[in-house]
Amino acid sequence: MTSYNYTLLCDYYELTMANGYFMSGKGDEISYFDVFFRKIPDGGGYAIAAGLEQVIEYISNLHFSEEDLAFLREKKTFSEDFLDYLAHFRFTGDIWAVPEGTPIFPGEPILTVRARAVEAQFIETFLLLAINHQSLIATKASRIVRAADGRPVAEFGSRRAQGSDGAILGARAAYIGGCSATACTLSDRIHHIPAIGTMAHSWVQMFDTEYEAFRTYCELYPHNATLLVDTYDVLHSGVPNAIRAFREVLLPQGIRTCGIRLDSGDLTYLTKKARKMLDEAGLYECRIVVSNSLDEYIIRDLLHQGAKIDSFGVGERLITAKSDPVFGGVYKLVAKEDEEGNVIPKIKISENAGKITTPHFKRVFRIFDRASNEPIADMMCVWDEPPIDESMPLEIFDPDNTWKRKRVTDYYLRQLLVPIFENGTCVYQSPTIDEIRAYCQNEVAHLWEEVKRFENPHKYYVDLSHRLYDEKMRLLDEKGNRIENTRV
């Protein structure tokens, strides 16, 4: 990230709007934008926040180079005063965000920006790019890892990823979501995701015999011998030759940890047969790894059918989130400040009810059951509402169906949005990737099992405080009447 200037990785209209704000005198007006999403991929019950570290790197290094300014000048769209402003451009605003690895739900802010209009508008594209991509892959990884039911899942998707960043950052997001390793070496170097791998079919084909290929590999890598057994015939050639190589090379050295991998065929049938052959040979510690266009549904079915699998390698359907490949995060203006510093809420209205925004500068609380530590619901509040007294019962309600109400007792609250930037300075200490992964696993573990169903999960509610709900209704009524009046 720091070796390349990503400043112009933005939609062109971010620049035209920024120029327009600057020229019309609105450039310094303080505005508030929320990043949120409307739908959980794959019809799931939760998503996983990821990509914040790349947002921090981008904001921290945001600047226009002389080459950038020369390019923009050639477009003959932007004023010289604006280009001079960009020559000294830095982000000077505030950002709050949920930590990476946090389960997130539709409608709630996962990142909020408070900044001058020019600054806040300009950073939209990269924020959405970073958060949408990695949240999508982390969410898919979480589903796949849960389907594996405690068995390790390695990310094997680099060659199917959409570009180099798709592979490198996709591996990072997959690790956050629970994968144990990656095949992408550069992700190990840059992001410290453990890289693993042994052989391809070409290794086996390169030798005169399958046994020679296996024996040579065991001699070269005795402590990392996982042999690919489906190049010719799994049960009549691959597994017997692997057993022979293990016995002749590894066992005399006292090494009993080894593995075989299958990448094709009926994985349930083949792994059952292979397990029986390995056990009869006394190779009880030999692990069986499978790959081949897997996803959460195939993995679940394999295990339900009794497949003897110790770990999984998952490629294209993870790194591309093939079944639902778009995370629909959006970036919407929710408030402005007037000349006295008062926060003035803003709303976007649509004939599609799902696209109506929740206005105002907000805080987001997760409500936990004190006895089980399970989250009950999330609640959005106006930023300056008085603190909630956790010793008193709390009434929450569904903002879409207000008759659905719940009285919560014996609970505690956690504020989800934490400070990331203050006055343009990063105030957040990013956790290590292993800390993020462990945090994510713990957070997901405490979700209701009903929320984690693959099909028809229980809806996790994101509620509004009474004040925020009333403010939204007031703006809907006010703006809606104006729209009706203009149509008459």
3-state SS, the chain, equals CCCCCCCCCCCHHHHHHHHHHHHHCCCCCEEEEEEEECCCHHHCCCEECCCHHHHHHHHHCCCCCHHHHHHHHHCCCCCHHHHHHHHCCCCCCEEEECCCCCEECCCCCCEEEEEEHHHHHHCHHHHHHHHHHHHHHHHHHHHHHHHCCCCCEEECCHHHCCCHHHHHHHHHHHHHCCCCEECCHHHHHHHCCCECCCCCHHHHHHCCCHHHHHHHHHHHCCCCCEEECCCCCHHHHHHHHHHHHHHHHHHHHCCCCEEEEECCCCHHHHHHHHHHHHHHCCCCCEEEEECCCCCHHHHHHHHHCCCCCCEEEECHHHHCCCCCCCCCEEEEEEEEECCCCCEEECCCCCCCHHHCCCCCCEEEEEEEECCCCCEEEEEEEECCCCCCCCCCCEEEECCCCCCCEEEECCEEEEECCEEEEECCEECCCCCCHHHHHHHHHHHHHCCCHHHHCCCCCCCCCEEECHHHHHHHHHHHHHHHHHHHHHHC
Give me the pLDDT at residue 354, please.
86
CA angle 450, 452, 458 (to 5 degrees): 40
How many other C-beta atoms lie within 10 A of the C-beta of residue 120? 25
Stretches where the chain sits below pLDDT 70 are 1-3, 481-488
Provide the sign of the torsion angle of the four alpha carbons 440, 445, 446, 449, taken in this order: positive
**Closest C-alpha among 363, 336, 360, 364 to residue 476:** 360
Q: Do domains 12-137+325-487 and 139-319 have the same CATH topology?
A: no
- Tell which phi-psi region holds residue 150, choosing left (phi > 0), alpha (psi between -120 and 50) or beta: left
How many other C-beta atoms lie within 10 A of the C-beta of residue 282? 13
Distance (Å, rounded) from C-alpha 139 to C-alpha 136? 5
Q: Which residue has the tokens 């105002």?
A: 360
Say if CB 437 and CB 175 are below 8 A apart: yes
Give me the pLDDT at residue 263, please.
96
Give me the pLDDT at residue 484, please.
54
CATH topology of domain 139-319: TIM Barrel (3.20.20)
- Domains of the chain: which residue ranges? 12-137+325-487, 139-319
Give me the pLDDT at residue 3, please.
59
What residues have CB less than 8 Å from 165, skipping those under 6 apart? none
Q: Residue 405: phi, psi to the nearest 5? A: -130, 155
Reported for 380-384, long-range contacts at CB under 8 A and 24+ positions apart, including other chains, are: 380/108, 380/109, 380/462, 380/463, 380/464, 380/465, 380/468, 381/464, 381/465, 381/467, 381/468, 382/465, 382/467, 382/468, 382/471, 383/343, 384/343
**Closest C-alpha among 443, 446, 366, 448 to residue 412:** 366
Give me the pLDDT at residue 488, please.
38
CATH topology of domain 12-137+325-487: nicotinate phosphoribosyltransferase (3.20.140)
Provide the sign of the torsion angle of the four alpha carbons 407, 44, 289, 190, taken in this order: negative
